[in-house]
Amino acid sequence: MQPPTAQHSAVGGLPALEAVRAARERVGPHIHRTPLLSSRFLGGIHGARVHLKAENLQRAGAFKIRGALNAMLLARSRGEIGPAGVITYSSGNHGQAVALAAGIIGSPATIVAPEDIAAVKRRAIEGYGGRVVICGLTSEDRCVEALRLARETGAKVIAPYDDPDIIAGQGTIGLEILEDLREVDAILVPVGGGGLISGIAIAAKALRPRILIVGVEPDTADDMRRSLEAGRKVTIPPSRTIADGLRAVTPGDLTFLAARQFVDAVWTVGDPAIREAQREILERAKLLVEPSGAVAVAAWREHGQRLRGRSVVLVLSGGNADPSAVGVS
């Protein structure tokens, strides 16, 4: 991939605000501008004003289409996508986004997915026309296989998070939040590989430097928290958390750099709290979210007293859940 142009780059290859704004113009005609919904119930828990950024209502059911489509439109403009199309590695949501984006630009797509991929996510990938290749259980397993297949076929690799074009696309969420809500003191963001929080933080901090950006990880998949505490990237054992989209074992190079510069804190939550938050979002807000998409709400319930009296946005990153898992049959 060619490096981004200087006017669109920040230090270390991270995209700057201009790249995020350009991404919005590029992908805007193809995606939803998702709603920002107030929640008096959640706000009342800690005496705050709480809004939910409902990316579970995004195309392909998650925020991932923003980054995937931005990266693929740019790759096409650079002549980097050939007859073999694109390939990626994903636990599900990024794979769905790549398959959908490939349909938009008229390209074949191959998604290397884990052995335990959620059935609802595999069906969606195949429904969008993507070819699924099953490999291993960890992101590293999938990455190695995707790179091997890319060398073999000439397919263009669309990274799930550690790429400036992906990060810029995810940052469009930050632009929307700050346009839709005049006063925002803090944004709570799920953290897997870190592309989502990197993009949101870059955009939000550029526009409102004093805003707080708080990451949320499962307590058994807290590679970003541990890496920030250590001052270097660390690798943790693979996690079996129910938040399958957040099972990264080490941050990306770019996403760790972004977190060190722009993220104010990382909070962790356990699986029982995530599951309870998932049910509560369905009962109170009438929104179906997957476990990964519920972690910001779980963290608000457990740690939100630190933001008492503030205006807080909780990002619901995805909705690709099996309804039976939250009691809907």
Q: Within the chain, what is the greatest distance between any pair of CA atoms?
A: 56
159, 286 contact by CB (below 8 A): no
Confidence of residue 6 (pLDDT cuts 50, 70, 90): very low
Does the pLDDT of residue 111 top 50, yes or no? yes
Residues whose CB falls within 8 Å of the CB of residue 194, separated by 6 or more in sequence, listed in order: 161, 162, 215, 224, 248, 251, 252, 255, 256, 258, 259
> What is the bridge-based pairing of β-strands 49-54 and 36-38?
antiparallel
The whole-number pLDDT of residue 12 equals: 63
3-state class (DSSP) for residue 43: helix
154, 84 contact by CB (below 8 A): yes
pTM of the model: 0.93
Residues of the chain with CATH 3.40.50.1100: 6-62+167-326, 64-157
284, 314 contact by CB (below 8 A): no
3-state class (DSSP) for residue 93: helix
228, 259 contact by CB (below 8 A): yes
Q: How far is CA 5 from CA 10, 82, 162, 233, 262, in A?
A: 10, 23, 17, 27, 21
Does the pLDDT of residue 7 top 50, yes or no? no
Beta strands in 138-238 (DSSP E): 156-157, 186-190, 212-218
Among the listed residues 64, 121, 156, 205, the single catalytic one is 64
91 noted as active-site residue: yes
64 noted as active-site residue: yes
Query: Residue 78: how many CB atoms within 10 A of its CB?
Result: 11
- Cβ burial 195-227 (10 Å sphere, 16+ → b, else e): bbbbbbbbbbbbbeeebbbbbbbbebbbbbbbb
The residues pairing with 311 across neighbouring beta strands, listed in sequence order, are 49
Among the listed residues 39, 91, 227, 239, the single catalytic one is 91
Q: Is CATH 3.40.50.720 the classification given to domain 6-62+167-326?
A: no
Phi/psi for 9 (5° steps) reads -115, 145
The stretch 288-298 carries a mean pLDDT of 97
Q: Which CATH number fits domain 64-157: 3.30.70.60, 3.40.50.1100, 3.40.50.970, 4.10.780.10?
A: 3.40.50.1100
Owner of token pair 């091997």: 148
The whole-number pLDDT of residue 140 equals: 83
Each residue of 130-157: pLDDT tens digit?
A: 999 999 888 888 999 999 999 999 999 9
In the chain, count H helices and then E strands: 13, 10
The whole-number pLDDT of residue 2 equals: 33
